[in-house]
Amino acid sequence: MAEDGDKIPTEFYSYDSGQPFESCIQCGIDLLNSGITYVVEKSVKRYPDLDHFDIIYEYAMCMNCMEK
pLDDT tens across 43-68, in order?
A: 999 999 999 999 999 999 999 999 99
The closest alpha carbon to 21, from 38, 45, 6, belongs to 38
Q: Is the pLDDT of residue 1 over 90?
A: no
pTM of the model: 0.79
Q: Is the pLDDT of residue 33 over 80?
A: yes
Report d(CA 23, CA 36) in Å as an integer.
11
The closest alpha carbon to 13, from 47, 44, 42, 52, belongs to 42
Report d(CA 4, CA 24) in Å as an integer.
22
Query: What are the domain boundaries of the chain?
Result: 8-67
Q: Is the pLDDT of residue 2 over 70?
A: no
